[in-house]
Amino acid sequence: MRRILVLILSLAVCGLIASCSQTSTGPEGGGPSSDAYPTKTVSGTLEIPIGSTVTAGDLRVVTFAGRADLDSGGAFEVDVVDSDSYQWLLFVSKTTGDPVMIGLYEPSARAVTADATSTALALTLANPHLAFTSHADREEYLEAVELSQWFDDILTHLNAAWLSDAETALDYASNPVLYQAVVEACKSTMESLGSVRGGSLDPPYIEDLVGADVAFVNPRHVWYAAGIQDEGGTPIDVVTIARDEWPTYEWGWPGLVAPTPEYTSYPLGDGAFVVCMQRGD
């Protein structure tokens, strides 16, 4: 016979937001060596809006794998990470290092776009709710973004900024209305693709199995550790509770990561126990 007292503890996780600067991106600027990941060379032409306060000669293109200057007509050739996901191409000021426009490399079509539309689409890809989506999901998402009532607003704010002071066009402090429109586009697009949801998945629990074993059942896409003590509080063991590594993603606002419950079997034996489960993210 077993008696189990289960305690669920929460562990706060601090996130680090890293910003890009002229000296932090690409192998020439002190970033990771391009030997650390597969790369490929892509080419394209940046279409700068007529009347912009910058020219092609004022800019260089920067990716996670390299950087290059543009010719007078906006043409460029640069290395990108050879990945199955969209890759950003940042067009930054040679003077300040600040981003002015953003291009996108689409790996399925092996195509580069670099213009006002790619800049607007790239901004909506900087959406934390897309973290668990596949490339196919993101293609569907971007198609829907362009149909959003907010997409034209994003383009309007971008074009106004490029004509006024292109080097601060993507600066939040200088252009907050742009990012308000981006957030609204992200939200309305995800709502249009799915349904509005709330709530959260249940925390892990324990199932009693036949014989000496129990099963820790984890319905969340989060790692947990179970500290097992006897009835007197003496530690016995620590168990790592597995999670579903490949959860499905369902659209909505917010989107829902829907893992399949993962089972971790453990030979607990008979007696009275205290089990403390703590999330590790």
pLDDT in tens, 21-39: 333 344 444 444 556 789 9
Determine contact, residues 172/157, Cβ cutoff 8 Å: no
Predicted pLDDT at 15: 27
Q: How is residue 229 written in tokens?
A: 């003590």
Which one, of 106, 138, 137, 102, lies nearest residue 120 by Cα? 102
76 vs 69: CA distance, rounded Å? 7
6 vs 226: CA distance, rounded Å? 9
Q: How is residue 231 written in tokens?
A: 């009835």
How confident is the model over 117-159, as pLDDT tens digits? Answer: 999 999 999 999 898 888 999 999 999 999 999 999 999 999 9
103 vs 46: CA distance, rounded Å? 8
Higher pLDDT, 202 or 75: 75
Taking CB atoms within 8 Å and a gap of at least 24, the contacts of 53-57 are 53/162, 53/163, 53/164, 53/165, 53/166, 53/167, 54/93, 54/100, 54/162, 54/166, 54/167
73 vs 102: CA distance, rounded Å? 17
Determine contact, residues 238/9, Cβ cutoff 8 Å: no
Which one, of 146, 249, 263, 152, lies nearest residue 207 by Cα? 263
Q: What is the band of 73 on the pLDDT scale with cuts at 50, 70, 90? A: very high
Average pLDDT for 163-181: 97
Residue 87 contacts by C-beta under 8 Å, 6 or more apart in sequence? 63, 64, 80, 81, 104, 105, 107
Q: What is the band of 52 on the pLDDT scale with cuts at 50, 70, 90? A: very high
Element housing 239 (H / E): strand 235-241
Residue 51 contacts by C-beta under 8 Å, 6 or more apart in sequence? 162, 163
Confidence check: pLDDT of 257 > 80: no
**DSSP code for 108:** T
Predicted pLDDT at 201: 63
3-state secondary structure of 119: helix
What is the longest distance spanned by two Cα atoms in the chain? Answer: 80
Confidence check: pLDDT of 197 > 60: no
Determine contact, residues 92/99, Cβ cutoff 8 Å: yes
Q: What is the mean pLDDT of the chain?
A: 85
Which one, of 2, 36, 44, lies nearest residue 231 by Cα? 2
Q: What is the band of 7 on the pLDDT scale with cuts at 50, 70, 90? A: low
